[in-house]
Amino acid sequence: MIRDDPENHRYVLELGGEVAGLAVYHLRGSRLYFVHTEIHSGHEREGLGSALARGALDDVRGQGAKIVPLCPFIASWIQRHPDYEDLIDQELLEAINRGK
């Protein structure tokens, strides 16, 4: 199960009632800045990172929000799934990348 945990600014992936992974974000206006994704030890290579990314981004899409994928995992996942590129605030992401 994947759920938003807005009080802790993260999406959580739970297996058997325990947290198996999370995707951390910062909310600024109507933009979610994804900054970190992790799958807990013992659950790597099970496809859970992809499930977490898809679940979180589907939820964002349902809210009508946009994202700024600063997390390398989320950014690369979207590159492999271009049907999610419409969620990215490209102008803001490019401005951030220019400032680096």
The string of pLDDT tens digits covering residues 17-59 is: 899 999 999 999 999 999 999 998 776 677 899 999 999 999 9
Which pairing describes strands 2-5 and 10-15: parallel, antiparallel, or unpaired? antiparallel
CATH topology of domain 2-98: Aminopeptidase (3.40.630)
Binned at pLDDT 50, 70 and 90, residue 61 comes out as very high
Domain ranges in the chain are: 2-98
Which helix (H) or strand (E) element contains residue 84? none
* DSSP-assigned letters across all residues of 38-77: EE-TT-TTSSHHHHHHHHHHHHHHHHT-EEEE-SHHHHHH
Does pLDDT of 100 surpass 80? no
Q: What is the pTM of this model?
A: 0.92
**Residue 47: how many other CB atoms lie within 10 Å:** 10
Length of the chain: 100
- Contact criterion met (CB below 8 Å) for 60 and 32: yes
